[in-house]
Amino acid sequence: MSWELIRSPTFVRAARKYLRRHPELVADLFETFTQLTEDPFHAALRTHKLTGVLAGSWACSAGYDLRVIFRMTKKSGKSIILLETMGTHDEVY
């Protein structure tokens, strides 16, 4: 099953800010997106469900300290991943 990625405005702002500071991580982020669309639970992503304020969301790793927060849903029969935000571990949790 293939997943469709949708970026929230918050995610777009966070990605621009983070990638301006760390342009060398663009390739890692795109590799993460590729793996997310193919299999959101791929072992390399270390996907895990979040609790507390972020309950209902999931997080995956896109490098040593880069995290992507997202929600999984279905719409019109399509499997969708809504990218909510991204940043370092301390920024997103």
pLDDT band at 93 (very low <50, low <70, confident <90, very high): confident
CB 3 within 8 A of CB 81: yes
Distance (Å, rounded) from C-alpha 6 to C-alpha 11? Answer: 10
Length of the chain: 93
Q: What is the pLDDT of residue 72?
A: 96
Residues sharing a CB contact under 8 Å with residue 71, sequence separation 6 or more, in sequence order: 56, 57, 58, 81, 82, 84
Distance (Å, rounded) from C-alpha 44 to C-alpha 25? Answer: 16
Percent of the chain predicted with pLDDT > 90: 84
Domains observed in the chain: 4-92 (3.30.2310.20)
